[in-house]
Amino acid sequence: MARGTVHVFVGTRKGTYVLESGPQRRRWKVGKLAHAGSDVFHVSPDPRHPGTVYANVNSGFWGPMVMRSRHWGRTWKEVSTPLLPQKKERKPRFGEEGDLAPLPITNLWHMEPGHPREDKTLFLGVDPHALFRSDDEGESWAPVPGINDHPTRSKWTPGFGGPCLHTILIDREDPRRMFVGLSAAGMFRTDDAGEHWRPVNRNVETPYLPEKFPEVGQCVHHVVPDGDRRDLFYRQDHGGIYVTRDGMENWDRIGKGLPDDFGFAVASPPAHPGRAYFVPLDSQSRMTLPGGFQVLEWSEARRTWRPLMGRRAFPGHFGVHREGLSCDTLDPAGIYAGTTTGQLILSPDAGRSWVQVPYQFPGIHSVAVASPEVP
C-alpha cells in the first residue's frame, strides 16, 4: 500500500494550481493559485528530485518564464529562460550597438526531466519549433541544433497552437534514444543523444495535405510510451489514433473503427502496461462528442476499445488539450483529465469510477501527477 501524498499539478489559462490527496485519492485539497493571470502550458514534477517542480509560464504581458519550485509548488523562483541563437544572415531588428538579435520565443510548451542517470538534465520544447537542453537544472540552456536545424524544417508548418515542439520522450534504458513531437511536422527520433534526428511517421495520414503519407508534415498531438514494452507507444494525431510496436518505425491506425478518432490527449498508466486512454473529440468542433465527456481505453493485448464511463456521466461540450490527460503510477491507476472549461475529472481506480473535483478552475492546459513512492 502506498503512503504519502499524491500531488496533481494543473496548468491553466490563468495560473498554476497544486492539489494534494492521500493514496486513496478520494479527498482533494486545492492549493493557492500561483502565476496568477499567466498561461501555464505545462507543470512538470521532477521524479528524480521529489519536491522539485517546473512550470512553463507564458505571460501575455511580460513573455515566457521558466519557474522552479523546490517545495511541491508552495513557492516558486524564476530560473533561466532559453534564448534562440542569433542567425548571422538576419539583419538586426533593434540594438543600440547594432547587435544581431535572436528571434523571440513565443511560448514555452513542454518541460521533460532527463534520464535518471543525468539527474540535472532537462529538456524544454518551445514555440517557434525548437528544443533546448539544460544540464544544470534550468540555470542555463543550450539549443539542440540536430533537431532545430533539421533539413526538413522548411516543410514544417504551424498547427493552430503555433509552431511548437510539444512532446519529448526519453527512453527509459538509454538516454541517447529520444523522441520529440512537433506540430505540424510529426515525430522525430534520435539514437545519439540529439546529434542526428530522423522523422518517424510512416503510415500516419495527413488528411489536410495533398500528399497523404509524407515523411514529415504530420500534426502529431501527443504521444506517450507504454509502461512496460520499450518499443510500444500510443499516438493521438490530428489524423487519428495510432500505435507503434517497433519504436516508431511503423504506425498502425487503431482508431479507424471509432465514430471519430480525433482528439488531443493520450495517457498510459505505468501500473497497467498495455492500456492507453484517449479523450475522443469531434474533429470539426474540437469538442466532446454528442453525449458529453468520455475516456476510451485501448487494450493492446485484446486489440479492443471500451468506454470507461456512461454516456451522460459528464454532459456538455468542451475539449481536453494535449497535456490535459495524465495518470499516476499507483495501482490501481489514477486517471486525471483537465478540461478547457476548467473541470478536473478523475478516476482513482483505473476508470471504474469517476468524480469531478469540486472546484472551478480556469481553462486547463495541462495536468501532471507526482505519485508517492510505493514501499
Partner 1 sequence: MVVTRLDSWLSEFGAPRRAEVQSPDVAGLLSDLERRYPRLRHRIRDESGSLRRFVRIFVDGVDISSLGGLKTPLAPTAVVDILHSIAGG
Tell the smallest beta-carbon distance from residue 62 to partner 1 (Å): 4
Burial class (CB in 10 A: 0-12, 13-18, 19+), 282: middle
User: Given strand 186-190, what is the order of strands in its sheet?
Assistant: 164-170, 178-183, 186-190, 198-199
Tell the smallest beta-carbon distance from residue 126 to partner 1 (Å): 12
Q: Which is nearer to partner 1, 67 or 219 (CB)?
A: 67
Burial class (CB in 10 A: 0-12, 13-18, 19+), 56: buried
What distances in angstroms separate CA 50 from CA 9, 21, 102, 188, 272, one per listed residue?
13, 16, 35, 30, 23
**122: closest CA among 49, 63, 61?**
49
Q: Which is nearer to partner 1, 152 or 341 (CB)?
A: 341
- Report CA torsion sign: 117, 120, 125, 131: negative
Q: Which is nearer to partner 1, 105 or 168 (CB)?
A: 105
Q: Which residues contact 45 (CB under 8 A, 6 or more apart)?
A: 7, 9, 52, 53, 368, 369, 370
Q: 122 by DSSP, 3-state: which?
A: strand
Tell the smallest beta-carbon distance from residue 96 to partner 1 (Å): 6
Tell the smallest beta-carbon distance from residue 362 to partner 1 (Å): 11
Tell the smallest beta-carbon distance from residue 172 to partner 1 (Å): 35
Tell the smallest beta-carbon distance from residue 78 to partner 1 (Å): 7
Tell the smallest beta-carbon distance from residue 33 to partner 1 (Å): 15
Tell the smallest beta-carbon distance from residue 103 to partner 1 (Å): 6
**8: closest CA among 373, 372, 367, 374?**
367
Q: Which is nearer to partner 1, 126 or 223 (CB)?
A: 126
**202: closest CA among 212, 193, 191?**
212
Q: Which is nearer to partner 1, 15 or 351 (CB)?
A: 15
Three-state SS letters, 288-336: ECCCCCCCEEEECCCCEEEECCCCCCCCCCCCCCCECEEECCCCCCCEE
Q: Which is nearer to partner 1, 93 or 212 (CB)?
A: 93
CB neighbours (10 Å) of residue 341?
16
Element (H, E) at 78: strand 77-78
Q: Which is nearer to partner 1, 83 or 193 (CB)?
A: 83
Q: Which is nearer to partner 1, 83 or 308 (CB)?
A: 83
Q: 163 by DSSP, 3-state: which?
A: coil
Q: Which is nearer to partner 1, 107 or 326 (CB)?
A: 107
**Cβ(134)–Cβ(121) under 8 Å?**
yes
Tell the smallest beta-carbon distance from residue 287 to partner 1 (Å): 21
Q: Which is nearer to partner 1, 299 or 360 (CB)?
A: 360
> Which cell numbers in the block locate residue 237?
494525431
Q: 153 by DSSP, 3-state: which?
A: helix
Tell the smallest beta-carbon distance from residue 83 to partner 1 (Å): 6
Residues that bind partner 1 in the complex, under the rule CB under 8 A: 37, 60-63, 78, 81, 83-84, 93-96, 101-105
